[in-house]
Amino acid sequence: MKKVKGIIFDMDGLLFDTESIYCDANLVVAEKYGLPFTKEIYARFIGISGEEVWAELHKMYADHGEETVQKFIDESWGMAHDRFKTGEVDLKPGVHELLAYLEEKEIPRVVASSNVRPIIEILLEHAGIRDKFSDIISAEDVKFAKPDPEIFVIASNRLGLAPEDCLVLEDSKNGILAAEGAEVPVVMVPDILPPTTELKEKTEAVFSTLHEVIDFLEA
């Protein structure tokens, strides 16, 4: 592919190991309320807004009663966010190395996440990497969550670059589809579940860690 002039980072599952925290919280609370929730069900929701997830959960578990489903949502969300507020969330392998490389090469970077801005800010600040990004595009900045391309259209605009001059780094199906819709090249670093063959075909490459992105950019 052509020379990359700007990088757009997803956050959950790409920069931070947050997806496993969300997933574990959902599994624990679902068991408490007798809801048949699995890791595969969780993976379907990665990258989309909280509001959309909650609406879908109410549809899926309607037979269990609205009050029970709402308790499941509130308690699992609260459990995960209590952990996030401490800032004690692991960075994914290769984050520091990739950011150092991009800084050295003077390649600008932004975060484009379906999460809410306060959580993004807490995690970036606690990890000491907030200053590595020129901007943050969060759930508050878009009308439509991934897989809608809006967030990556905004991100490329914030970088002041054409979509084809940017590169999105994503871990989820919804993120890959959003990048495709925005016509921004995308590299996938899977987190919870590996990509399908169909999804791989929509990417420039699939890597196991962010370390490999450095070699990709150098090629």
From residue 36, give the alpha-carbon distance in Å to each of 19, 53, 186.
Answer: 19, 16, 33
40 lies in the same domain as 24: yes
Residues 69, 100, single domain; the answer is no
Same domain, 79 and 119: no
Whole-angstrom distance, CA of residue 26 vs CA of residue 32: 10
Domain termination site, one of 67, 85, 103: 85
DSSP code for 206: E
Q: Check whether residue 127 and residue 196 sit in a common domain.
A: yes
Residue 211's domain spans which residues?
Answer: 6-16+90-218
Same domain? 114 vs 58:
no
* Plot region of 209 (φ>0 → left; ψ -120 to 50 → alpha; else → beta): beta
Copy the structure tokens of residue 150: 């809006």
Domain co-membership, 207 together with 155 = yes
Query: Which run of H or of E encompasses 166?
Result: strand 166-170
165 within a domain of the structure (yes/no): yes
- Note whether 72 and 111 are same-domain residues: no
Whether 32 and 109 map to the same domain: the answer is: no
Question: Who contacts 65 (Cβ-Cβ below 8 Å, separation ≥6)?
Answer: none
CATH number for the domain spanning 154: value is 3.40.50.1000
Judge whether 119 lies within some domain.
yes
Same domain, 113 and 214: yes
- CA dist list (Å): 6 to 40, 82, 123, 164: 33, 33, 22, 10
107 and 196 inside one domain: yes
Q: Using the 3D structure, point to which of 34, 68, 85 is the last residue of a domain.
A: 85
Q: What does each C-alpha distance from 126 to 87, 131, 213 come to in angstroms?
A: 5, 11, 24
- At 29, list the tokens: 């609370």
pLDDT at 19: 87
Give me the helices (H) in 86-140, please. Answer: 95-104, 117-127
How many structural domains does the chain have?
2
Q: What is the pLDDT of residue 1?
A: 67
Residues of the chain falling short of pLDDT 70: 1
Say if residues 22 and 30 touch (Cβ distance below 8 Å): no
Digit-coded pLDDT (tens) for 165-194: 999 999 999 999 999 999 999 999 999 888
pLDDT single digits (tens) 33-57: 999 999 999 988 887 777 889 999 9
* Residue the block writes with tokens 């993976």: 43
In a domain, 1, yes or no: no
139 and 63, same domain (yes or no): no
CA distances from 198 to 1, 14, 145 (A): 20, 20, 22
**What are the structure tokens assigned to 28, written together?**
């624990």
For residue 208, is it within any domain?
yes
Domain ends where: 85, 108, 124? 85
Residues 128 and 96 in one domain: yes
**Closest CA relative to residue 162, chosen from 142, 147, 180, 184:** 184
